[in-house]
Amino acid sequence: MKIDTKIIAHRGSKGTRPENTLISFQTAIDEGADGIETDVHFSKDNQLVVMHDETVDRTTNGSGRIVDKNLAEIKHLDAGIRFSPEFKGTAVPTLQEVVDLLIKDHFTGIFNLELKTNKIQYPGIEETVFNYFASVDFPFQLIYSSFNAHSLEILNQLDPQLAGAKLFKTAAKQAKALKKDHMIADFHPDIRWLKRHPFFAPAQNLRPWTVNSTEDMQYCFERNMAAIITDYPARAIQVRTEMGRGLE
């Protein structure tokens, strides 16, 4: 059996580089990842900022909420120093800077953009993101995801052909209802939940997160899931390669 499961780098090569930074995404691409996953918020001045948390505290040398800072303030933060002194001076990227990097690298894999609207709504962010991508000629496969069903519904209304996926830890019924209503195409469940509910959905509709252990990687590859989302893309590629050789 050929393993077709794609390897999507979670916030870039998060396990080895400062997450959601250009160096993290570049490392994942250089390592051969099939996809890149990242997160987007609105700044105070409605700029599209790439960061996971709603606040800058965990990953930068600053403090406070993204929504309370304008882009110039965010650009003065150091997004590398907390990970390692080696990456001191690494900037927080905008969505456009990430897309520019992917275009420069002629990246044709998956770009999974999570709209972080589950805690702060960011009114209008869906339309802003949609209009941005409508203005860009990009080479990659764009997939939207969110924990917030309303964001996915808005994106589906803007373009029913968009590829959307519902992120969830346990809210499987809501995810299935969205798929039944053709609001999404695929599911992005927590791998821990998925292993307890192995018959939830066909493998081709599953991209679980965060698949970091060799055991979990093997579990997903054996079932030929659509993709895994991992902090360690290089390790996942190695495991997939070794398993593929064993199946020859």
Answer yes or no: is pLDDT of 247 > 90.
Answer: no
Q: Looking at the domain assignment, is residue 193 inside a domain?
A: yes
What's the pLDDT tens digit per position in 66-112? 999 999 999 999 999 999 999 999 999 999 999 999 999 999 999 99
Query: Taking the chain, what is the end-to-end CA distance rounded to the nearest angstrom?
Result: 8
Domain of 116, CATH number, reads: 3.20.20.190
DSSP 230-242: ES-HHHHHHHHHH
Q: Looking at the domain assignment, is residue 126 inside a domain?
A: yes
Question: Taking the complete model, does pTM exceed 0.95, yes or no?
Answer: yes
Indicate the burial class of 200 (C-beta count within 10 angstroms; 0-12, 13-18, 19 or more).
middle
Q: Looking at the domain assignment, is residue 113 inside a domain?
A: yes
Q: Looking at the domain assignment, is residue 242 inside a domain?
A: yes
* b/e sequence 140-157, b meaning 16+ C-beta within 10 Å: beebbbbbbbebbbbbbe
DSSP 98-155: HHHHHHHTT--SEEEEEE--SSS--TTHHHHHHHHHHT----SEEEEEES-HHHHHHH
Q: Looking at the domain assignment, is residue 164 inside a domain?
A: yes
Catalytic pick among 41, 52, 76, 150: 52
Indicate the number of domains in the chain. Answer: 1
The position carrying tokens 């933060």 is: 77
- In the annotation, is 188 catalytic? no
Q: Looking at the domain assignment, is residue 82 inside a domain?
A: no
Query: What is the domain range of residue 139?
Result: 6-38+109-246
DSSP 28-46: HHHHT-SEEEEEEEE-TT-
Q: Looking at the domain assignment, is residue 125 inside a domain?
A: yes
Q: Looking at the domain assignment, is residue 153 inside a domain?
A: yes
Helical (H) or strand (E) element with 216: helix 214-222
Answer yes or no: is pLDDT of 14 > 90.
Answer: yes
Catalytic pick among 10, 182, 188, 197: 10
Query: Are 166 and 145 in contact, with CB atoms under 8 Å apart?
Result: yes
Q: What is the reported pLDDT for 246?
A: 80
- In the annotation, is 52 catalytic? yes
